[in-house]
Amino acid sequence: MTGGRWLLRAASLGAALLVWQGLTSLDVNVWLRFEQFPTVGEVAGAFAERAGTGPFWQDLASSLRRIVTGFLLAAVAGVAVGTAIARSRIAADVLGPLLEVLRPVPAIALVPVAILLFPSNEQGIVFITCTAAFFPVLVSTRHAVGALTPVWEEAVLTMGGGRARILFSVVLPGALPGIFGGLSVGIGVAWICVISAEMISGEYGVGYRTWQDYTVIDYPGVFVGMVTIGALGWLTSTAVERAGRRLTRWLPARDSSGPVPASAARTRTERGPGRSPRDPLPATAPATARAGATGPRSESGPFPEQTREVTP
């Protein structure tokens, strides 16, 4: 990413903070009421004060442990079940109807089930986080595997490859872009549900602490929790996207300046894969070389000269 884009993003965040500071310091009350909102300076002071205490980092570690555990379980289960449903008619018939019935149920609505099912709140929160991230990964994997062209699989079969070779050399690598799309959606949904579960039944965690601040009317503390949740969500989403880019380096590269225009894409196609737009086009083969490659027929026309023996 260029320095200009970093500067533009920092300016966007700075402008939002300036608007926030202006609305709250002036106690604006025009339909939307900002008179009880803490200012940016009050939230920054509360954040600095809490960052120097042990409970803040304990809550941070608890939320990160729950989100990582639940998300990894959801990633493994979602990829495995999605691949099985996409490639096996029996798996689609057995698991498909059950999962389609469960998929519309919000994960946060499973809090009573988690309380009854698991012996501790910690396991119940991980279960809710895993359930929230499971279905986006499952659906994305199923569609990505189903969209693969059968030519690649037929090529492996032609070369004597078995099912395991097809799975690990064709299916999973080919579906990786779609799988990481589901993982990016799943990590965001998982954060929503883990914070909600901590507010309802947690003992530690960022969500639990934010709700406790709200019950004692500590509004700067509430905003500290919101800022912390946003920063953690941004960091984990960035980690998933970077892992996806690293594992799908074989995809056509994009310039850091943004989407590739159609004219540039055509130019890349003409230059060939793996060549930079700044690289010169490959030199055209000399006419004499083309003539030599085509053999004697190029001297007499597009078709070889036909000779016929005449028997006297």
The Cα–Cα gap between 195 and 206 comes to: 7
Residues 143-176: pLDDT tens digits? Answer: 999 999 888 888 888 888 888 889 998 999 999 9
What tokens appear for 212 in the block?
A: 């406790």
| pLDDT reported for residue 200 | 84
The DSSP call for residue 168 is I
Q: Considering Cα of 37, then 39, then 45, then 51, what sign does the dihedral take? A: positive
| pLDDT reported for residue 128 | 93
Spans of the chain, pLDDT less than 50: 269, 272-279, 281-312
| pLDDT reported for residue 112 | 86
| pLDDT reported for residue 222 | 93
pTM recorded for the entire structure: 0.75
Enumerate residues 6+ apart whose C-beta is below 8 A from 110. Answer: 127, 128, 131
The DSSP call for residue 171 is I
| pLDDT reported for residue 282 | 47
| pLDDT reported for residue 16 | 93
The Cα–Cα gap between 73 and 81 comes to: 12
Residue 294: which region, alpha, beta or left (left: phi > 0; alpha: psi -120 to 50)? alpha
Residues in the chain: 312
The Cα–Cα gap between 167 and 171 comes to: 5
The Cα–Cα gap between 217 and 155 comes to: 65
| pLDDT reported for residue 289 | 42
Check: CB of residue 82 under 8 Å from CB of residue 138. yes
